[in-house]
Structure 1
Amino acid sequence: MDSNTEVVSAARAGLAGWEALVERYSRLVWSVPRSFRLSHSDASDVYQCTWLCLAEHLTRIRQPESLGTWLVRTATHQSIAVLRTRGREVSLDLWEPESTLPPPDEVAVTNDRHRRLWTALALLNERCQRLLRIAAHSPELSYAQVADALGMNVGSVGSTRSRCLAELRRKLEAHR
């Protein structure tokens, strides 16, 4: 299951889909109450309430691809509600260090960008996929080494890479 649409559909259908959904977004949901510096027990309550809200609204999610944003907003509202209830005291939970994770909205945006990039890359032909993967993961390789690895002429590596990048850009733009 790659897309959020598939995962949400599977979650609506049964427990295995729900587990995939929780696995995909667990760290994101947990990071929100921790970013509010809630105690471990308050953060756990927010975490559980966020998933409960999703379970209650799962059949009404109209844009599964925006689920990460929905979860961040829900966890944020839950965290603010806990702060209002508990007062403005700052938890000094000595058992867990302060989170060094990036803010949840950055995580959601980054995950969305990565998902869109990998989806667009998968739509390219195999030759472009292999060439772009080599270029991304081993930029130190010479054109001769890349050509040898892919069975291409050395002179066509640069122009092929340019065409593949242009096609990747078009696919990314088409899936915005």
Structure 2
Amino acid sequence: MTHDLIPTLRPLLAAEVSAEALASGADPGDLEQAVWLRLLERMKEAGPPADPALWLRGAVRSEARRTRHTGRREAAYAKEPADDAEHGPEQRALAADRYRALHAAVRRLPGRCPRLMAALLSPEDLTYREIAGELGMSQGSLGPERSRCLGCLRRMLTAEVAAPAPWGMER
């Protein structure tokens, strides 16, 4: 019975899948493959169905419903994320690395510079008045202090980029 079942059901499955795929918008090949897989799983667990034709019709309808339901919840990407040269994984990794390097350099600055630069780089987009209040300094001295800190940071980063790593290895 098991060996005869698949060749016997093949034409019925093709007809049922054709009708349901057209109505549900599913790919007929995917729907047919899902039903065959379901039949094989069923046969492994409980043996062949008592009425294979009836079981097949129900399985096709069930798979078509599942496909429609899944299709409503899933949204296709406009383009593949890995193909997005501007916001792809490589660009995000490089940006994250630059962010970590900048913040590590800011933490090594002398005096009040680390706190000032951290406040200026804050995602909260603080105003000069808020930064001055947070750091306990006058608002008028923020500009000159910021210039000194940026000069120090520039010299520090220039030296790091220009200096070769030990043993002639690149950084």
TM-score (norm 1): 0.38
- Pick 1 or 2: higher relative contact order, CA cutoff 8 A, min separation 6: 1
Bigger CA radius of gyration: 2
